[in-house]
Structure 1
Amino acid sequence: MTAVPSVPMSRRDWLLSDRPQSRTQARLGRAYMTWRRFSANRLALVGLGILMLLILMAIFAGVLSPHSPVIGNLAGARLLPPGSPGYLLGTDEQGRDILSRLLHGSRLTLFVIILVAVIAAPTGLIVGAVAGYAGGWVDAVLMRITDIFLAFPKLVLALALVAALGPGIENAVLAIAITSWPPYARIARAETMTVRNADYIAAVRLMGASPLRIVLLHVMPMCLSSLIVRITLDMAGVILTAAGLGFLGLGAQPPLPEWGAMIASGRRFILDQWWVATMPGIAILLVSLAFNLLGDGLRDALDPREAGQ
């Protein structure tokens, strides 16, 4: 009998194989399935596209900006409407190009988003994982501290912290991060309590692993999916809080082109020169909407049970 020639496996079949030959193949297969579930949500792709555009705007703001974001032309370009020659989105009360200020303001927005995520998410993850795994008085103390932070409205607490620390973009980021970690701690604690008595945790414990190693290497990774979804959904609130602080003069200080501060400076002209406050408001709306759409897509992609409903 002649041997039947083997058909080469396509890349898609290799990724979707139910018998992976290596850890790399298994991880790539899970990533591919996650992307397929995510890409099935068209609105999530729209949100991802808007955020990618925001990142590109922030990276190439210096190249894309037709004018200086902080130096205006009071003599001949004050409060020009959108579509004016050389000023696509118009100018503000100091003759500064609004488009250039929006482009450079995207850098401040990304600065706030990244720093808040870097500070708040690990803090909440550590507190929640330790509380859920240790239990007892450790859990009680850490959760009561979390409850104290949750008892205050986020914006009010951020206002108090910024007022105590002083106005500025760095202090605003620190205040937002301090007020943002408690929900992440709650999620991490709930996830930890569901897996701390699992068989694989018991096996690792019997092998002599320390509690610190178990929490860091085996418990925290199980919390990441839910945490990523919550962080993405919370970014819209972070942007609005930062814009609110800037609107009140407690965030980025002039002449920095922060979107909330731009709305504050344009509120005096909202009836006649509407574009001064409307353009940064639209930018905040689009970015906040993009994070909400992306968060919904990630929730469906990272939770197959949710996706199947």
Structure 2
Amino acid sequence: MRSAARKSVSPAGLTRFVCLVAVLAAVGLLPWLSGRDPALTVLRARSAEQEATPEALAAIREDLGLDSGPLSLLGNWASGLLRGDLGTSWVSGTDVLPSVVSGLQVSLGLMGAAFAVAVLLACALVAPVLVRGRGSTGAFAAMLAAVPEFLLATLALLVCGVWLGLLPTSGWAGPAYMVLPAIALGVPAGGLLGRLVADALPAVLDERWVELWRGAGVGRARVSAAALRRVLPPLVPQFGMAAVGLTGGAVAVETVFAVPGIGRTALGAAKSQDLPLLQGSVLALLALGLVAGALSALARRRLLGPALRDAGLTLPAARPVRTHPAVPLTLAVLLLVTIGWGLLRDPYTVDTTARLLPPSWAHPLGTDGLGRDVLARLGHGAASTVGTAAAVCALSLLVSLALGFLPGVAAGAADIANALPPVIVGILVAAAAGPGTGGAALAVALISWPPLAAHAAALVQEVRASTFLTAQRAIGASPSWILTRHVLPSVAAPVTRHAILRLPGIALALASLGFLGLGAQPPTPEWGLLLDESRAYVERAPWAALAPAVALALLAGLAVSGAAYAQGRTGGTGRARRRVRTAATTKKETSVGA
């Protein structure tokens, strides 16, 4: 009995609980963690003309209970939460709960439509594999999965809404207003789901039971249905991560199309420092992510059935998606030439007489709303975006190498990190420390380490089980000698290559925070910020929006093609295939990485 109780409290479960409590505490302590004076925010919201005297600010702090200390503040918030009371908005003075419920209803409707788009797209990507018995859509699906939602939403707004005028581009007044947001939110998720299933199906269709069924005269439809049932259980957790990704992508999509959902509500509350509304909105988004993960675990148990419920069911090794080395090389050359050309120009010179000029020899990519050269800002923005991404990669690498030796602790923390999209963490960090490049880098670093840590843990386990380490112990080698001379060198090299492959994806995550105003601030020429600034005059000067959009698309293509090329190069041996498969077990590979 005692041993069973001890086994029930695993290190992963304990770490998962501690991390969840830490996240909830951070949300509850936002008024105390915020660098700004909440009393001043409330005073400005109540009366913009009233003078901010010490007496007036002290009265507001007493009214809000901000003078009682962080523990009392957290206790009051938690007790109200248990009673279903999310507090009162500091800006509007109304109850937070109705606003959260209203925004949540809109977001759930949008996410439901987006999930339908994702399922339809995934079926279209998987159908050729079922018919031909081999994967032919992996590269295309990977490209769709790597396109950020904010970039796809901006392109849909530009092409379908502005140029063609086919569909409404803002608001939430009927089914037609749902089409473009659902497509922008559902296409990357559909690409991910289609890629996962299409990559796994060929190996399943080569299994012995499929040949026996076909030889016995079983029809193609029944064999395909059985193959899908064989594929789905190990992939269901990844589907849950795709649903979590919808909650993060909804923030950007709702912002682009002015949809009054919970994501846009959270972003607006963060910018206006309406912390009670922000707390309720983030709590709702976090609950969506956790519920999606729990439902995916339940669906997996139901699909496995009682016989296999406690067994580890894995798929055969997926065939690597190969690409010609010329593809990533061409994309890299295009980006480097554009960046190098832009670095030779001044990105800050303002010329109001040259506002919104079309591309010309003097300005190859045109000018923006202040007359600044778009090519110059694109080139200098790469240094900010890619340089910050490199720092985040280095930090994630160090954390993952340390956690690789603590797989039980890392697994529990990774579950919570996987349930938090970068945008949600970025909103929390911006509310506490203010928007900026450092805050965006911290937000991405906090949730970008799980795939690397999983890769490191698998390699540590593999190296420790090798026979040559047993021989080293037998001849009296010390644990420190084995660690520094054998284990770390064997683990660090492949995990470092994995981290480098994630560099473009992390740069895209930073750009998404910049696009939402949570990252670099004007006049910094950051790619996501450039795309956001150009939306104000996209009808008059579409080239100003297309330049950063194309650069981000090239970066996404480089992330996918580079990862596919590296996977093809390392797919020759069984050990390398195991490493690649282990590194791809987490959805963060796509949401934050390639």
Match of 1:47 in 2: 328
Matched, 1:264 2:528: no
**CA separation of 1:168/1:300 partners in 2, compared to 1, >3 Å: closer, same or farther?**
same
- 1:132-158 Cα offsets, whole Å, 9 max, x none, are xxxxxxx42333223222232233223
Match of 1:21 in 2: none
Matched, 1:77 2:354: yes
Alignment of 1:109-128 (within 5 A): 109-128=385-404
In the TM superposition, what is the alpha-carbon distance from 1:227 to its structure 2 partner?
2.5
**CA separation of 1:250/1:52 partners in 2, compared to 1, >3 Å: closer, same or farther?**
same
Once residues 434 and 417 of structure 2 are traced to their aligned partners in structure 1, the CA distance between those partners, rounded to angstroms, is 20
- 1:101-160 Cα offsets, whole Å, 9 max, x none, are 1111111122122111111112112211x12xxxxxxx4233322322223223322332
- 1:23-81 Cα offsets, whole Å, 9 max, x none, are xxxxxxxxxxxxxxxxxx7643331343356456656754x32xx2012210x200011
Once residues 172 and 272 of structure 1 are traced to their aligned partners in structure 2, the CA distance between those partners, rounded to angstroms, is 31
Alignment of 1:83-94 (within 5 A): 83=360, 85-94=361-370
Please point out which of 126, 144, 149 is paired with 2:412: 144
Please point out which of 179, 184, 193 is paired with 2:452: 184
Once residues 214 and 205 of structure 1 are traced to their aligned partners in structure 2, the CA distance between those partners, rounded to angstroms, is 8
- 1:239-276 Cα offsets, whole Å, 9 max, x none, are 22111111111111111110100111111122231111
Structure index of larger Rg:
2
Give unpaired runs (5+ residues) of structure 1.
1-40, 132-138
Amino acid at match of 1:108: S
Match of 2:546 in 1: 278
TM-score of the two chains, using structure 2 as the length reference? 0.40
**CA separation of 1:170/1:103 partners in 2, compared to 1, >3 Å: closer, same or farther?**
same
2:367 and 2:373 in contact (8 A); partners too: yes
Amino acid at match of 2:327: V
Match of 1:105 in 2: 381
- 1:150-202 Cα offsets, whole Å, 9 max, x none, are 23223322332343232211222222122111111111111221221111111
1:92 counterpart SS class: coil
Matched, 1:205 2:488: no
Please point out which of 396, 417, 433 is paired with 1:165: 433
2:351 and 2:371 in contact (8 A); partners too: yes
Deviates more, 1:229-238 or 1:255-264: 229-238
2:325 counterpart SS class: helix
Query: Identity of aligned pairs, percent?
Result: 34
Once residues 210 and 163 of structure 1 are traced to their aligned partners in structure 2, the CA distance between those partners, rounded to angstroms, is 48
Note the aligned Cα RMSD (angstroms).
Answer: 2.6
Amino acid at match of 2:423: L
1:158 and 1:179 in contact (8 A); partners too: no
Matched, 1:236 2:504: yes
- 1:253-300 Cα offsets, whole Å, 9 max, x none, are 111110100111111122231111111010111122112211211122
Please point out which of 539, 556, 572 is paired with 1:304: 572
Once residues 153 and 147 of structure 1 are traced to their aligned partners in structure 2, the CA distance between those partners, rounded to angstroms, is 12
Matched, 1:290 2:542: no
2:410 and 2:453 in contact (8 A); partners too: no
2:389 and 2:506 in contact (8 A); partners too: yes
Amino acid at match of 2:368: D
Deviates more, 1:169-178 or 1:181-190: 169-178
1:161 counterpart SS class: helix
Give unpaired runs (5+ residues) of structure 2.
1-321, 578-594
Greater relative contact order (CA < 8 Å, ≥ 6 in sequence): 1
2:502 counterpart SS class: helix
1:54 and 1:106 in contact (8 A); partners too: no
Once residues 120 and 196 of structure 1 are traced to their aligned partners in structure 2, the CA distance between those partners, rounded to angstroms, is 23
**CA separation of 1:178/1:194 partners in 2, compared to 1, >3 Å: closer, same or farther?**
same
TM-score of the two chains, using structure 1 as the length reference? 0.74
